[in-house]
Amino acid sequence: MSASNWKDCRRILCIRPDNMGDLLMSGPAIRALKTTFNCHITVLVSSMGAGIVDFMPEIDDTIIFDTPWVQTSTTPVPDSFNKMAARLRKGNFDAAVIFTVYSQNPMPSVMLAYVAGIPRRLAYCRENPYHLLTDWVPDEEPYNIIKHQVRRDLDLVANVGAVATQEQLYVRIKKDRRTGMLKQLEQAGVDPEKPFMVLHTDVSELKRKYPVKAWISAGRKIAAAYNCQLLITGKNNISECRDIAEGIGEGAFSVGGLLDLEEFILLIKYSVMVISVNTVTVHLAAAVQTPVLVLYAMTNPQHTPWMVNSGVLYFDVPASLQSRNEVVKYVYRSLACSDLPPASPANILEETGALLPQASGRFKKPQPMS
């Protein structure tokens, strides 16, 4: 089908049943669909990714579905596929767009849209899907090229005529929660009138975990070099946040588990800088334009910070935790042979100095909390 076949689409389903960071990176492409076709956007997303939807104004409606083909914390029910297909059929969608990373098989999501009777279906696929896709884009990644995930998604929707007028990541904070956030920080011992930096240590996958001792070493070096408070954040590793803060010493504070998502976004917005493992925090920093240094486990290289002042340092994944996915293994072997800057504490300090917003050797004053 040509792009003209999509011009009258008024209800589009975007299938992205992954984590919050994945959905956030699809934001510019979803926004391109909405602005080009002036359509109603529904996203099918996992329970893990649903939390970010409220901050993405391009999304009108949400369907939460923990699919059997994406790793989640729930155990799928065998007939859930047919029930969801029946629900989607009642949605009267004009088209479906299936967003994937290059190492994912799109076919389960494609089949869901096909069984639901959605008349137009767009996705990347290596194999010829024949009738399953009306708009098939042969997937060249990662063997011929590796694109950033945002670019991959934008290029996908461009195949049906969706044009992006703004390619940056974006989150909209509905309510200014600065008062509650400040109170939480003050209770943790933080002085909100002084500059602070976020060190985000939590991970969604164990393979992305950066060692606690290395966090402490890097934090001590940064604390010694710069007059800046270090806020250690995490949701699922609260005791570890405390250990890291205590290990760093004076000027380091654990705020793990204290903030909800909206407060956490505000925290990132008003930080002078963020240092994080490769997780949604990196993409939130890009969305609010806070400089970010990512300590990147050598997994999927296409998820680095997008259109923001940033740096990337790399560390290896233990053999026991490396993916069994052959596509991921192929890219890992290519990365392992590359000259990538290691995420050592010394390199973290050097990159921090390069990224910190400075004026005449001193921190710029923090943005006003308004």
- Co-location of 194 and 343 in the same domain: yes
- In a domain, residue 11? The reply is yes
CA distances to 199, 230, 275, 317, 354 from 294, in Å: 10, 16, 6, 15, 13
- Co-location of 182 and 319 in the same domain: yes
- In a domain, residue 338? The reply is yes
- In a domain, residue 253? The reply is yes
- In a domain, residue 168? The reply is no
- Co-location of 114 and 189 in the same domain: no
Considering only CA atoms, which of 259, 257, 254, 258 is closest in space to residue 242?
254
- In a domain, residue 368? The reply is no
For 235, the token pair is 């949701």
Tens-digit pLDDT string for the chain (370 aa): 444 589 999 999 999 999 999 999 999 999 999 999 999 999 999 999 999 999 999 999 999 999 999 987 778 888 999 999 999 999 999 999 999 999 999 999 999 999 999 999 999 999 999 999 999 999 999 999 999 999 999 999 999 999 999 999 999 987 678 888 989 999 999 999 999 999 999 987 778 889 999 999 999 999 999 989 999 999 988 999 999 999 999 999 999 999 999 999 999 999 999 999 988 999 999 999 999 999 998 878 899 999 999 999 999 888 888 889 999 899 988 877 678 999 999 999 999 999 997 533 334 433 433 3
- Co-location of 92 and 198 in the same domain: no
Phi, psi (5° rounding) for residue 239? -65, -35
Range of the domain at 296: 178-363
54-70 pLDDT, tens digit per residue, is 999 999 999 999 999 99
Boundary-marking domain end, from 91, 125, 158: 158
Write down the pLDDT at residue 78: 86
Considering only CA atoms, which of 189, 183, 176 is closest in space to residue 369?
176
- In a domain, residue 340? The reply is yes
Predicted TM-score of the model (pTM)? 0.93
- Co-location of 140 and 189 in the same domain: no
Write down the pLDDT at residue 337: 65
Write down the pLDDT at residue 112: 98
Please give the biggest Cα pair distance in the chain.
Answer: 63
Instruction: State the burial class of residue 206 (Cβ atoms within 10 Å of its Cβ: 0-12, 13-18, 19+).
Output: exposed
| Domain CATH code at residue 308 | 3.40.50.2000
Count of domains observed in the chain:
2
- Co-location of 286 and 322 in the same domain: yes
- Co-location of 199 and 99 in the same domain: no
- Co-location of 235 and 358 in the same domain: yes
Q: Which residues contact 15 (CB under 8 A, 6 or more apart)?
A: 43, 44, 96, 97, 98, 99, 109, 112, 113
Do residues 23 and 48 lie in contact, with contact meaning Cβ atoms separated by under 8 Å? no
Peptide bond into 119 cis (omega under 30): no
Write down the pLDDT at residue 203: 86
- In a domain, residue 131? The reply is yes
Do residues 261 and 280 lie in contact, with contact meaning Cβ atoms separated by under 8 Å? no
Angle between helices 261-269 and 178-187 (to 10 degrees): 80
- Co-location of 190 and 97 in the same domain: no
Dihedral sign of CA atoms 327, 120, 24, 358 in order: positive
- Co-location of 264 and 322 in the same domain: yes
Considering only CA atoms, which of 181, 350, 344 is closest in space to residue 261?
181
- Co-location of 152 and 186 in the same domain: no
**Intra-chain end-to-end CA distance of the chain, in Å:** 48
- Co-location of 86 and 189 in the same domain: no
